[in-house]
Amino acid sequence: MLKINWEVMCGVGIGVDRGGRQHNEDNYLVGFDNETVWLERGQAIKKSSPGVGALLAVCDGLGGHEDGAVASTAAVKAMSRLYHPVAPADPERSLLRYVREAHTQLYWKARGGGAVEMGTTLTLCWLMGAKMSWCQVGDSRLYVYRDGTLSCLTQDQTINVFARRDGRTEVERGNNLAQCFIYGSRGIGDNTQLRLDPGVDSGTCDVFVGDWILLTTDGCHDFVRREHLERILKGSESTRAASSQCFEAAVAGGSKDNITALVVRVDQLGVSTTEFHDDEDDEATFVF
For the ranges 21-25, 141-145, 156-160, 195-199, which has the lowest average pLDDT? 21-25
Strands (DSSP E) along 228-284, which ranges? 259-268, 276-277
Question: For residues 142 and 124, what is the distance between their CA atoms, to the nearest angstrom?
Answer: 8
User: Which band of pLDDT confidence, cut at 50, 70 and 90, is reported for residue 226?
Assistant: very high
249 burial level (CB within 10 Å; 0-12, 13-18, 19+): buried
203 Cβ partners below 8 Å, 6+ apart? 92, 133, 134, 153
User: Which band of pLDDT confidence, cut at 50, 70 and 90, is reported for residue 281?
Assistant: low
Question: 67 vs 103, which has greater pLDDT?
Answer: 103
At 165-196, the pLDDT tens digits run 999 999 998 999 999 999 998 877 788 889 99
- Could you give the count of Cα atoms lying within 13 Å of 271 in the half-sphere of its Cβ? 4
Rg, Å, the chain Cα set = 18
Phi/psi for 228 (5° steps) reads -70, -45
pTM of the predicted protein model? 0.93
**What domains, with CATH codes, occur in the chain?**
3-276 (3.60.40.10)
- pLDDT at residue 288, rounded to an integer: 41
Torsion of CA 60, 158, 125, 152, to 10 degrees: -110
